[in-house]
Chain A
């Protein structure tokens, strides 16, 4: 079975440009999570969807970040405009259910570099 799929795997962009990261969760999973990993802050949750509905977006850094989940098999994380401090690895994860009862399965990540 395919795991969580993320694209692109690497993205290099200039400051001020729009960046869109994509995620396809594991089929049948109804929860989706976006995380950001940096050396300074470690792994941080950005936003969490359950049944395509955003449940908790308190981790989204600022208005430049937005996320959507138009259907059960696709989600995007958009940064507009991008800044150098957004450089990080962005992970998408999915799970069978919500909350603590289910383990999350992570995608390979998107390494974003903003110059």
Chain B
């Protein structure tokens, strides 16, 4: 079973629209971390955010915001007033207790149309 599910394979929005990328995870651990990474067309993976399982406060960083809800095992990512530079593949990832690595979702390709 997938530990991290990103059901949206591809999303296209027009510039300045808001867009939410969904992430649903599965774990039996009570202590875990969730991450979002961005992979622009240049190919590198850029770290965006890390949240631990005990901190359900929503976080905002500029045009980016994250909504963590343990009740639904979701960690969604919203981009407000999207820009062409936001076009990329976005990955959600999970790290569990005792795990050394990240379990990545399959990614959501976001295209922002000017």
A56, B104: Cβ atoms closer than 8 Å: no
* B30 sits at the interface (CB 8 A): no
Interface pick from B16-24, B39-47, B66-74, B77-85: B39-47
Contact with B along A7-18 (1 / 0, CB 8 A): 000000000000
A interface, CB within 8 angstroms of B: 31, 33, 42-43, 45, 48, 50, 55-56, 59, 89, 91, 93, 98-101, 103-109, 111
Is A100 a contact partner of B97 (Cβ separation < 8 A)?
yes
Q: Is the CB of A45 within 8 A of B107?
A: no
Note all chain A residues with C-beta closer than 8 A to B35. 103
Those of B85-102 within 8 Å (CB) of chain A: 91, 95-102
**Main secondary structure on chain B at its contact with chain A?**
loop
Q: What is the total of A-B residue contacts with beta carbons within 8 Å?
A: 54
- A42-B107, A56-B100 are known contacts; what are 6 more A-B pairs with Cβ within 8 Å? A42-B104, A43-B91, A50-B100, A100-B31, A106-B47, A109-B43
B44→A108 contact, CB < 8 A: yes
How many angstroms from the CA of A31 to the CA of B95 in the assembled complex?
Answer: 15
Which residues of chain A are near B46, meaning CB under 8 Å? 106
Neighbour of A33 across the interface among B37, B96, B101, CB < 8 A:
B101
Contact B44 A109 (CB under 8 A): yes
Taken together as a complex, chains A and B put the C-alpha atoms of A108 and B43 apart, in Å, by 6
Given known contacts A56-B100, A56-B101, A42 and B43 CB-to-CB distance under 8 angstroms: no
Q: Is the CB of B47 within 8 A of A103?
A: yes
Please give me the residue from chain B that is nearest to A48 by CB atom. Answer: B100
Chain A residues whose CB sits within 8 angstroms of the CB of B104 once the complex forms? 42-43
C-alpha gap A45/B95 in the complex (Å): 12
Q: Say whether B64 faces chain A, with CB atoms less than 8 Å apart.
A: no
Closest to B53 in A: A100
